[in-house]
Structure 1
């Protein structure tokens, strides 16, 4: 005998899982500590400075 599936419950569970996945993704992307943000900014500044130092000035 087939098992009865409640489609409303299925849709709600699916929506909850999607929201949870999206929230976890956002937390991973934006949920950084102040030290991590400072370190990433320092790395970006260092990379920009290194790139500028290798730039050629052709007049």
Structure 2
């Protein structure tokens, strides 16, 4: 026999897990100091400039 599952509980548990994962991502993204944000922005700009310079024109 199959195990009986309460679908409301499963859906709520899945929603809580998704919300928890999103919260972790937001803490990592927004919970940084100003120097960290500036360093990351400079690294992104450098990476984008490097990629733009290596792009082939068609």
TM norm structure 2? 0.58
Unmatched segments (≥5 aa) in structure 2 = 47-58
What is the Cα-based RMSD across aligned positions, in Å? Answer: 2.0
Larger radius of gyration: 1
Moved over 3 A (4+): 37-41
Unmatched segments (≥5 aa) in structure 1 = 48-59
TM norm structure 1? 0.57
Give the paired residue count: 44
TM-fit CA distance, 1:39: 4.3
